[in-house]
């Protein structure tokens, strides 16, 4: 079975976000092994600068990456796909059983430059900025939409 790993810095705080994330996780899991891991975010407090926060979160991200992962960072400056193109991208990687697509959603202040350089690819959901929890839901919906297109399911119509 195809595998997607999603690592998110921070957690889903409200019931709305949790409910919709679980909804899409259940839909996706019919067609793909989906692993979602929420990593502790570093709190910005006085005396801690953003570079240090990003470095620490980056260390946790690196620990979550496995050797056969194709690492994709969600980043505003990343590659943009239309839904059908994203479906073809997923299909292409699903045809390679040795690869696990591993997507990273950074914390509220982003991702360290070190991790951006470490990644195999950057992917953009939009030029707009979304609330962190909403980004998780939107991205899970896009994964399901991509799988639906690839499998010819009626969801995308």
Kindly report the CATH number assigned to the domain that includes residue 64: 3.40.1280.10
% of the chain exceeding 90 in pLDDT: 69
Q: What is the mean pLDDT of the chain?
A: 91
84 against 96, higher pLDDT? 84
Distances (CA, A) of 129 to 51, 114, 143, 153: 20, 22, 19, 30
User: What is the residue range of 137's domain?
Assistant: 3-156
Residue 78 in tokens: 């990343």
**Domains: count for the chain:** 1
Neighbouring residues of 142: CB distance < 8 A, sequence distance ≥ 6: 83, 86, 125
pLDDT tens digit string along 92-128?
988 887 889 999 999 888 899 889 999 999 999 998 8
pLDDT tier, 156 (very low <50, low <70, confident <90, very high otherwise): low
Q: Are 57 and 51 in contact (CB under 8 A)?
A: no
Neighbouring residues of 38: CB distance < 8 A, sequence distance ≥ 6: 8, 9, 10, 11, 12
- Neighbouring CB atoms inside 10 A of 30's CB total 11
pLDDT at 15 over 90: yes
């Amino acid at each position: 079975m195809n595998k997607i790993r999603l690592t998110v810095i921070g957690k889903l705080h409200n019931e709305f976000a949790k409910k919709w994330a679980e909804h899409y996780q259940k839909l996706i899991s019919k067609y793909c092994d989906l692993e979602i891991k929420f990593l502790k975010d570093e709190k910005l407090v006085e005396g801690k600068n953003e570079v240090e926060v990003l470095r620490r979160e980056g260390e946790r991200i690196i620990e979550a990456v496995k050797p056969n992962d194709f690492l994709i960072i969600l980043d505003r400056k990343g590659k943009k796909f239309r839904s059908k193109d994203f479906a073809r991208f997923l299909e292409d990687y699903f045809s390679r059983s040795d690869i696990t697509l591993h997507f990273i959603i950074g914390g509220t202040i982003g991702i360290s430059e070190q991790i951006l350089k470490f990644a195999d690819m950057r992917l953009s959901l939009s030029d707009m900025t979304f609330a962190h929890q909403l980004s998780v839901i939107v991205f899970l919906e896009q994964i399901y939409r991509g799988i639906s297109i690839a499998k010819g399911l009626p969801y995308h119509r």
